């Protein structure tokens, strides 16, 4: 069962190609790291951290290593999604658009 924040992001932004036609997958392991959402075409990952049971977020070094492999990672919290969904969505769209434009030619 998805948390409320995870479900909201999926339903309102990431499911069925809603984000510029790109398809995301849920709960994927990439390069040894677990991500909440993964877009293989854009090589874009989102790690959603649960405020009640926070996992250790990726370090800046981890993110640099993944970026060197062509993988962009965003880390956001459930609290950010639930407390200000509109700004969180805008932030995801901006990061995704910037990275996809550079790496996918969109």
Q: What is the pLDDT of residue 1?
A: 53
| CATH assignment, 4-96 | 3.40.960.10
Predicted confidence (pLDDT) per residue in 7-37, tens digit: 999 999 999 999 999 999 999 999 999 999 9
- Alpha-carbon torsion, ordered 9, 13, 16, 21, to 10 deg: -150
H helix runs in the chain, sequence order: 4-9, 60-68, 78-83, 85-104
- Whole-model pTM: value is 0.88
* Sequence ranges of the domains in the chain: 4-96
Q: What is the pLDDT of residue 53?
A: 65
Predicted confidence (pLDDT) per residue in 43-100, tens digit: 999 999 887 766 667 888 999 999 999 999 999 999 999 999 999 999 999 999 999 8
* Contact present, 91 and 35 (Cβ < 8 Å): no
């Amino acid at each position: 069962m998805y948390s409320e924040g995870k479900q909201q992001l999926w339903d309102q932004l990431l499911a069925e190609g809603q984000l510029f036609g790109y398809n995301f997958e849920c709960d994927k392991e990439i390069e040894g790291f677990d991500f909440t959402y993964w877009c293989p075409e854009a090589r874009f990952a989102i790690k959603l951290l649960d405020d009640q049971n926070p996992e250790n977020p990726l370090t800046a070094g981890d993110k640099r290593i993944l970026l060197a492999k062509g993988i962009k990672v965003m880390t956001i919290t459930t609290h950010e999604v639930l407390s200000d969904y509109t700004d969180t969505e805008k932030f995801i769209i901006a990061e995704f658009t910037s990275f996809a434009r550079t790496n996918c030619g969109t």
